[in-house]
Structure 1
Amino acid sequence: MNDAVVHDAPLLDMPRLLVLIPLTDADRAELAAHFDVLYAPDAQQRARVIARQGSTVRAVLTNGATGLAAEEVDRMPALELAGALGAGYENLALDHARSRGVALCNGAGVNADCVADHAMALLLAAVRAVPRFDAACRAGVWRDALPMRPTLTGRRLGIVGYGQIGAKIARRAAGFEMTIGYHNRTPREGVDARYFDTPLALAQWSDCLVVATPGGAQTQHLIDRAVLDALGPEGFLVNVSRGSVVDTAALAAALAQGALGGAGLDVYEGEPAPPQALVALESVVLTPHVAGTSPDVRAASIRHFIENAARCFAGEPLLTPL
């Protein structure tokens, strides 16, 4: 599809949607069946489209990292809905949008299975040193020259953030006969896991710690050096939430000093640039923020946003309001 916006007036009977994130042609075709789509996936196009056609936009599709600024909301007087495609919404001007009467939604839960799968993959890869052993095998190094690695089964797993993703991680970990503990802002009713009131207390109890909490100012560096030291030299950290939740410098130092056994990160501070403090360390497994992405998840996320928008324009409750 051509990225250029060539029409100024909205198409008849179709609400105008401004898309601020990169999408595939198939995603855009799906949206185009329901909206008059303005596609502006980079900063230059975004500024131009909002300046020229912002007054006609009724809905915006973005994500947590890309966000939507307060001044942009002000330039879209017809805006009724702002949606984040994934679960994250840390860079959306929520309070300002609400003050303007804009409904807000995200894709909470749509990619939960995929993220939970990836969290377990990272945990296994870190504990069993899969990338290191893969490289050794390709280089002709046999097991006798390599250190033995711990067994994951039966260990204590701490989960920071017990929402839909955290709960699904716990279900998968149960298959490894792991004992589950968790930290959340408040205890969850009906959860068969031990609650800890701070991440530090949870880390002191845990053998492995998986971070699945939302990003934003409230969780900035929630996992700091004290938490990493509490996990200890035989402990493992996995982060599938937001890079800002883990203090990267503290993590790099702990791994380099042998104060932490290993880590698996799908997210990190300074994305998309690779975390230079970590890339040379064998004890960390890195993936480029792909935990929640797959073809089926993306298609489901697009459908989820379309349903939220349909409900918004019909005056009905949203599926996943913010």
Structure 2
Amino acid sequence: MSKTVLVLVETVDDYLPLLERAGYRLIRAPSPQLRADAIARHAGEIDAVLTRGPLGLTAGEIATLVNLRIICVIGAGYEQVDLAAAAARGITVTNGAGANAAAVADHALALLLALLRDIPRADASTRRGEWQRVISPSVSGKRLGILGLGAVGLAIAKRASLGFDMPVSYHSRTPRNDAPYTWYDSPLHLADAVDILVVATPGGAGTQHLVDAQVLDALGAEGYLVNIARASVVDTQALAAALAQGRIAGAALDVFDDEPGVSDALKALGNTVLTPHVAGQSPEAARDTVSLVLRNLQAFFAGEPVLTPVHE
């Protein structure tokens, strides 16, 4: 008997046939209304849910899905999945740790280069027929700090260190013995020691506003912030104020508090580069993400350990 997967995500459609060819029945519900309708109509049929961190799955939805056995989250973050409700029902939760790390790291470096070298404004002025040869900072040799050294953080560190001769430091809850980078015991001390701070840590209550006004002040007037993780990790109001007042030099952001909405304060600033939460999106990343979901589903329904479990 085939298993039924409720698909709430909207970014991996081209690779969902991988699941269908493996025998899974898919119910696609990539909008709030379709989601509500699908859960109301098919509550007793759904064995698995495919979601992503910001879309999550609520306690109420988990209670309604009476035959739900596994929740697969694409991407590393799972901040809106009610893990307590899942655990209370014995429902397994997996994530996509590492599946899109290369794409996210590539985008982080692209944002970093665009920000420091002022690429968007240079492009726009050249298209207007202007010839504004503004002197921009070099990237090579800058001191890079990474907040969170998981799969994405490690991929960023490798690119920065080997490609741009950047000394790399990081903050995580505990030092990593397998990483040849300098550990700092707090975001504040890390920010004080670097020129560029990249946010690469998961979202959720445990990382809420780790980057606050104090951290931004420690980063300083010649410092830059890049966030390819979750907007919740950075205090957006404090960031907008620091940018407007010149307390930091610039910020490049791929994530925002109220997506798809973007703060008008951030959009109005000339020292920001903004992209619409696309860091983890590439054909390769989508393929690898769905492949990992498939392997987790196959392992789970075969009674074997899943590859990337998430625990409360």
Instruction: Give TM class, smaller chain.
Output: over 0.9
Unaligned runs of 5+ in 1: 1-12
TM-fit CA distance, 1:51: 2.1
Q: Secondary structure at the match of 1:55?
A: coil
* Distance across 2 between alignment mates of 1:173 and 1:166: 10
- Kindly provide the amino acid, as one letter, of the partner of residue 88 in structure 1: G
CA-to-aligned-CA distance 1:210-256 (integer Å, 9 cap, x gap) = 00000011111111111111111111100000011111111111111
* Distance across 1 between alignment mates of 2:65 and 2:127: 55
- Kindly provide the amino acid, as one letter, of the partner of residue 167 in structure 2: T
* Distance across 2 between alignment mates of 1:25 and 1:171: 30
Give 1:6's aligned residue. none
**TM-score normalised by the chain length of structure 1:** 0.93
Q: Which has the larger radius of gyration?
A: 1
TM-fit CA distance, 1:21: 2.0
Give 2:25's aligned residue. 36
Give 2:289's aligned residue. 301
CA-to-aligned-CA distance 1:244-302 (integer Å, 9 cap, x gap) = 11111111111111111111101111111122111111110000000000112112211
TM-fit CA distance, 1:63: 0.7
* Distance across 2 between alignment mates of 1:196 and 1:213: 15
TM-fit CA distance, 1:24: 5.7
| Contact 2:170/2:182 (<8 A) preserved | yes
> Where do 1:214-233 residues align within 5 Å?
214-233=202-221
Structure 1's 313 and 246: CA in aligned 2 closer, same or farther, altered over 3 A? same
Give 1:7's aligned residue. none
Structure 1's 16 and 250: CA in aligned 2 closer, same or farther, altered over 3 A? same
TM-fit CA distance, 1:85: 1.5
Question: In the alignment, is residue 167 of structure 1 matched against residue 154 of structure 2?
Answer: yes
Unaligned runs of 5+ in 2: none
Total equivalences in the alignment: 308
CA-to-aligned-CA distance 1:161-218 (integer Å, 9 cap, x gap) = 0001001100000121111110001111121111111100000001100000000111
Give 2:186's aligned residue. 198
Give 1:150's aligned residue. 137
Give 1:54's aligned residue. 43
* Distance across 2 between alignment mates of 1:270 and 1:253: 18
TM-fit CA distance, 1:25: 5.0
**TM-score normalised by the chain length of structure 2:** 0.95
Q: Secondary structure at the match of 2:188?
A: helix
> Where do 1:26-105 residues align within 5 Å?
26-33=14-21, 34-105=23-94
Q: Secondary structure at the match of 1:56?
A: coil
Question: In the alignment, is residue 133 of structure 1 matched against residue 122 of structure 2?
Answer: yes
Share of identical aligned residues, percent?
Answer: 50
TM-fit CA distance, 1:30: 2.7
- Find runs of 4+ consecutive structure 1 residues off by over 6 angstroms: none
- Kindly provide the amino acid, as one letter, of the partner of residue 127 in structure 2: R
* From 208, 212, 215, the counterpart of 2:200: 212
Structure 1's 210 and 24: CA in aligned 2 closer, same or farther, altered over 3 A? closer
* Distance across 1 between alignment mates of 2:43 and 2:116: 50
* Distance across 2 between alignment mates of 1:84 and 1:307: 13
- Kindly provide the amino acid, as one letter, of the partner of residue 30 in structure 2: P
